[in-house]
Structure 1
Amino acid sequence: MYINTFKYTPADVDCKLCTEYVKKFGCTACGCPWMAERIEAGVVDYAEVVRQMFPHDKRLMARLEPLIRDFPGMLWKDERHRQRMEAVKIHLGHSKRRDTPAFFAVMFLFTSDEDIYRRAGNCLCRRGAEFDYARLHEISPHDYTLYIAARGIYTNAGGLTTRDLADAEVVDAAALRMIVNALLIARYGCAALDIHERGRKA
């Protein structure tokens, strides 16, 4: 079995090497086409990747800008969140078929605090995410929002809309941060968990 250990470095993703880069004008792309590779190389900060994910919605950006400004330096809610998710990953083991970015995004949401983990942690199975196993009776609005977001990310149906995310009465600020971070994982994989406040310059 061959294990790929290659990892992009800042030199590999220097913007001047990109086909979208023009010496006189700089980057000419509407959005970075190599964001995943730049995240892996550690040269992307939280602000850049979030703004690229939601570039055309002014109402949502009005809510995201405070999240960007107050970014604590990691995607995790806290250290206990990280420990819970790592423990689940170890417990489930590796499965190439199951371990998609969407599955890890669900895992990120369902381990974000003790209550949601107690209610929905058993949805994280060796064969994938099974949402019918969640215990939703008397669940808090915050946790139910995370549940709906996770289900939508995984099934690509029936989740939260951009309009929902832009509405503070539908998605509270704490849930919004977790959902946005989960969406980063769903798009860019677990490499997104290495995003810090400031990336190193390429």
Structure 2
Amino acid sequence: MSRLFMYGTKLQEVEQLMMLVPRFAPRQKGLIVVGKTIGVKGGIQKCRSCEKCGKENCGGTACTNLTNSMGMGRVTYREMIIECFSEISHFYFRKRLSDLIASSPDGWFISEAHEKRFENVCEMLKIHKMDRNPRYLATLFLLTADGRLCSLAKEHIYYNRFEFKQIRLNGMTTNSYALYQVAKTIYTGKEYIKLNEIADRHLIDHQTFMAIIHAILIVKYGGEILSLEM
């Protein structure tokens, strides 16, 4: 029996939000952070490097110019982040980005356990990272970043879709809830988390913030970055 009185109705998600982790404000009209950063609604935008090279928008699902340059050692992790988030002026968000860059992460995943969970799902579903839609990979990246979230979501992850409405969110921490909300935002293109929430150090810890930023980089530059040295 479902623990939700409104299960199966249009009010199901509202009831879920009422029962979830405190401190997240109700969704209001505001900035869709991934929409502002990577153009979720309007497709991937050209990066400034492409414009400097005089390239036309190829219409691809991800910008490969900086990814290729990073693979050849021409672009650093810092430069990739600056390029991706250049239009975001939020002071505390940019301060967190600076701190992330200064921390010099060892890899794209936040832990060995995260990488193992991600790779296990890819292997189970026969997902090839290089040729999958970047938004799909970024969503999977976030849903596997936290052990509790992954255990709740794994039965609702499919080769070509995610069934967010079927994921029962119980016993989650604030950080795992933030990962879920950003994953849902990336996948649907609708706002489920606000920029000021992502920028709040008291709400989202460093590892979770790193996972969110790296997921957005995956959407921008494709799954190829996961195979690149940082």
TM value normalised by structure 1:
0.73
Q: Is the 8 A contact 2:122 2:128 kept in 1?
A: no
- The aligned counterpart of 2:52 is 20
Residue 181 of structure 1: CA displacement?
0.6
- The aligned counterpart of 2:76 is 45
Q: What are the Cα deviations for residues 105-161 of structure 1, in whole angstroms up to 9, with x where unaligned? A: 111111113212112222311231111222202311111110000000011102323
Q: Structure 1's 110 and 42: CA in aligned 2 closer, same or farther, altered over 3 A?
A: farther
Q: Is the 8 A contact 1:85 1:108 kept in 2?
A: yes
- The aligned counterpart of 2:215 is 182
Instruction: Return the alpha-carbon distance in structure 2 between the equivalents of residues 44 and 121 of structure 1.
Output: 35
Q: Which runs of 5+ in 2 are unaligned?
A: 1-49, 54-62
TM value normalised by structure 2:
0.65
Q: Structure 1's 169 and 99: CA in aligned 2 closer, same or farther, altered over 3 A?
A: same
- The aligned counterpart of 1:5 is none
Instruction: Return the alpha-carbon distance in structure 2 between the equivalents of residues 163 and 78 of structure 1.
Output: 25
Q: What are the Cα deviations for residues 163-201 of structure 1, in whole angstroms up to 9, with x where unaligned? A: 33222244332211110011111111111213433xxxx
The root-mean-square deviation of aligned C-alpha atoms, in Å, is 2.6
Letter in 2 for 1:134: I
1:193 aligns with 2:230: no
- The aligned counterpart of 1:54 is 85
- The aligned counterpart of 1:158 is 191
1:141 aligns with 2:169: no
Instruction: Return the alpha-carbon distance in structure 1 between the equivalents of residues 86 and 199 of structure 2.
Output: 13
Matched positions, count: 169
Q: Which runs of 5+ in 1 are unaligned?
A: 1-17, 22-31, 198-202
Residue 162 of structure 1: CA displacement?
2.7
Q: Is the 8 A contact 1:44 1:195 kept in 2?
A: no
Instruction: Return the alpha-carbon distance in structure 1 between the equivalents of residues 167 and 143 of structure 2.
Output: 10
Percent sequence identity is 28
Q: Structure 1's 142 and 38: CA in aligned 2 closer, same or farther, altered over 3 A?
A: same
Q: Is the 8 A contact 1:77 1:178 kept in 2?
A: yes
3-state SS of paired residue (1:20):
helix
